[in-house]
Structure 1
Amino acid sequence: MTFLSDPEETAGARRMYDADLADDGFVMNLTRLWAHAPEADTAFRDLTALASAGQSMRERGVLVTATAAALGDSYCALAWGGRLADEAGADVAAATLSGEDDAVLDARDRALASWARAVVRDPSGTTSADLEPLRAAGYDDAAIFSLTLYVGLRLAFSSVNGALGAAPDHEVADAAPPAVRAAVTWGRAPA
């Protein structure tokens, strides 16, 4: 499930496992990984919540799905692709994942997906012109900072999970719509 053994069962780890069981009915592979440092998990979640304050589920879904796809993170792509499909439709989720048919996306979704991809692929190569679609979609500078911080945090999360071998749970993959599963042709296979 990951490259690390299961962590010692501390009160923090138990709390994380219990939350997964209550929410999902199983303990996720990434939870077993982050249970090695429950305080880091809590701090990371708090910072991520702060960065995404005011963003809709659809906005977060587009940002995370585009980030995961650009990085090649199958875990977050399947999990968030499913969430985005619930929110905006499987065609929007699949287009965000593939990056090949952005015409399916509305202008706001296109701006978010394009920005997330740019941040992942070449953050030092971005220019002020890259922000224009975000501004045209109604985002001011404070919102653009928050969007970028959120993408950066999701990139860090995916990097830790990927580097330590967290494979998508079968339950996560099975819950994703067929169009999302078909679009995720990279990354680790479910385990």
Structure 2
Amino acid sequence: MKHLIIYAHPSHESFNHAILTTALKGLKQKGHDVVVRDLYDIGFQPVVSSSEIIGGIGEDIVREQKFLQWAEVVTFIYPIWWTGMPAIMKGYIDRVFSYGFAYKYVNGVQMGLLKGKKVIILNTQGKSHSEYDSNGMDQALRLTTDKGIFEYCGLDVMYHIFFESVPQSDEDTRKEWLRQIAGILG
């Protein structure tokens, strides 16, 4: 299978990077074709320009869109910061999931253009599941990403996994989470 990983975390020492390493290793061991787009390493420029608003996209965005066209499964790995995705990931969505590529309107009806592709979302967060559940934040995160972005563009969300209280987690818990990822991505 053709598998694209979109990764956003600035530190190679982070648990997010351990997730990336585990996912990449597992997918390659199972014979998948894998491309990783580490948004920090490639220096992705997340700010939408005025020309992009009116439909003019640059070579950098065409390149990213080709990776998405190629992929059968897309995995997004990023931390939850301020109850959302990091700015660089949001900028990737804003710029790459553009009108006419990821979605369009026909007679006023929205149509997702990325049908037939699957999505896996792996997030780390500093708070516990119970804290996010008690205030509805867990559902808000799923609504804004799963439905508001990916399903809106026609993608099928297979998994959206939140790894909770990561800064306070111990080594055994993290190893178990990495085993879980290895099982899912294969």
TM-score normalised by length of structure 1? 0.31
Q: Name the structure with the higher strand share.
A: 2
TM-score normalised by length of structure 2? 0.32
User: Relative CO higher for 1 or 2, CA cutoff 8 Å, sep ≥ 6?
Assistant: 1
Q: Name the structure with the higher helix share.
A: 1
